[in-house]
Amino acid sequence: MYHRFNENKYPSTNIKMDMFDEQMKIIKNQGYEFYDPKNFLNEFDKVKKSKKILITIDDGFKSFYNEAWPYLKKNKIPFILFVSTEPVGKRGYMTWDEIKEINDSDIGYIGHHSHSHEYLIDKTEKEFIKDIETATKIFKDKLGYIPSIFSSSSSACPKAKLENKNTGANKRKIFRTFRSFIHLKIIYIPPCLYIYTYIYTIIK
């Protein structure tokens, strides 16, 4: 899971492009394939014959568009870009035209990453649902569909806070909240450095 590229003033979420290039080469040279997200939902429960790696990028920062997108396009590496809808078009973030360009490509897929990108577990269930539904409406309006893979926006939290809050009860709250307005199945909870990302698939 990546965030910013060549934005060295944000060391906790940044990767330098030469390091990114090295990581992509290691993946290739070790014989791993890049997982194409368009197969992700259908194949998730199936036993895999080979090891594949899914590249994901959170938030929709402009530095992704300027730095990593040309690289991924040139090397035909598929990925999911998880977009929070509220900051789109603001300073440092991609515009809807840029997001549509990714969406229209063969290798880029758009994921749901809430509206405000706030730590939703701190909200009431009503606020939690409102945030997700706001983003859902905007995605439908801007892209014509609702992205079916969701990544939670918990990255704004310091490590200790997140670890304290990352309890079974809170996971159940997240699950219940989503269940209350859409049919949802948790499919993936990958640990990622100090950040836990919850990826859900919306069963429509």
Residues near Zn ion (CB under 5 A)? 58-59, 153, 155
Rg, Å, the chain Cα set:
17
Residues belonging to the chain? 204
CB closest to Zn ion, residue no: 58
Cβ closer to Zn ion: 136 or 153?
153
Quick one: tokens of 70? 């040309």
Q: How far is CA 187 from CA 30, 90, 131, 140, in A?
A: 26, 31, 21, 23
Cβ closer to Zn ion: 155 or 177?
155
Nearest distance from residue 30's CB to Zn ion, in Å? 27
Cβ closer to Zn ion: 69 or 113?
113
Nearest distance from residue 153's CB to Zn ion, in Å? 5
Residue 6 exposed, middle or buried by CB count within 10 Å (0-12, 13-18, 19+): middle
Nearest distance from residue 50's CB to Zn ion, in Å? 29
Cβ closer to Zn ion: 103 or 197?
197
